[in-house]
């Protein structure tokens, strides 16, 4: 399941080591994201593991360590739901900026599956659960694998 305009990507993860890093907040939605990412990684042939962190704010540091410890890519999954304070904006910006920095500093892919939502229903609609319209966990894992393969080709000089 893909959102409107997002590509359906067939990926081959053979030989790749991927770490899913997922927040614990909003566990029904996050568990759906994890299931979607897991389906893609299993089907791709990638070797993968799962690490849980408290929330989306903690995703960048855990992703950084996973990449430093030999992962070829990480899939960052989390849920941030808007509330009545600026906390939503602070955490959303910190997670997005932090994960971007991790990818650039490591030169390795970070599949971005952090949902920023106005309400819980939006998350349920995007988590790949029965009845969901989208599967953002699947999309994040597919993007991580596809980017890892592109980077391998570029580094080996075989990209065309």
**Active site members:** 87
Q: Tell me: is residue 112 an annotated ligand-binding position.
A: yes
Q: Tell me: is residue 110 an annotated ligand-binding position.
A: no
Q: Tell me: is residue 79 an annotated ligand-binding position.
A: yes
As to burial, measured by CB atoms within 10 angstroms (0-12 exposed, 13-18 middle, 19+ buried), residue 149 is: buried
Q: Tell me: is residue 58 an annotated ligand-binding position.
A: yes
Q: Tell me: is residue 81 an annotated ligand-binding position.
A: yes
Q: Which residues contact 74 (CB under 8 A, 6 or more apart)?
A: 18, 19, 20, 21, 63, 66, 67, 102, 108, 109, 110, 111, 144
Q: Tell me: is residue 25 an annotated ligand-binding position.
A: yes
Q: Tell me: is residue 48 an annotated ligand-binding position.
A: no
Q: Tell me: is residue 126 an annotated ligand-binding position.
A: yes
* Of 119, 118, 139, 142, residue with least CA distance to 128: 139
Q: Which residues contact 113 (CB under 8 A, 6 or more apart)?
A: 33, 37, 75, 76, 77, 78, 136, 137, 139, 140, 141
Binding positions for 5-amino-6-(D-ribitylamino)uracil: 25, 56-58, 79-81, 112
Q: What residues are designated binding site for (2S)-2-hydroxy-3-oxobutyl phosphate? A: 84-85, 126
């Amino acid at each position: 399941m893909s959102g409107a305009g997002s590509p359906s990507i067939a990926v081959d993860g053979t030989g790749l080591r991927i770490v899913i890093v997922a927040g614990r907040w909003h566990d029904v939605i996050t568990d759906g994201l994890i299931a979607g990412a897991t389906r893609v990684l299993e089907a791709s042939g990638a070797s993968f593991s799962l690490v849980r962190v408290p929330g989306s704010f903690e995703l960048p540091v855990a992703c950084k360590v996973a990449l430093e410890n030999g992962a070829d890519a990480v899939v960052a999954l989390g849920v941030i739901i808007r509330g009545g304070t600026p906390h939503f904006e602070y955490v959303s910006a910190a997670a997005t900026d932090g994960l971007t920095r991790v990818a650039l500093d490591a030169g390795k892919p970070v599949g971005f599956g952090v949902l920023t939502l106005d309400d819980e229903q939006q998350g349920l609609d995007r988590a790949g659960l029965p009845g969901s319209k989208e599967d953002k966990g699947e999309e994040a894992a597919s993007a991580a694998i596809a980017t890892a393969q592109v980077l391998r080709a570029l580094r080996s000089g075989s990209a065309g």
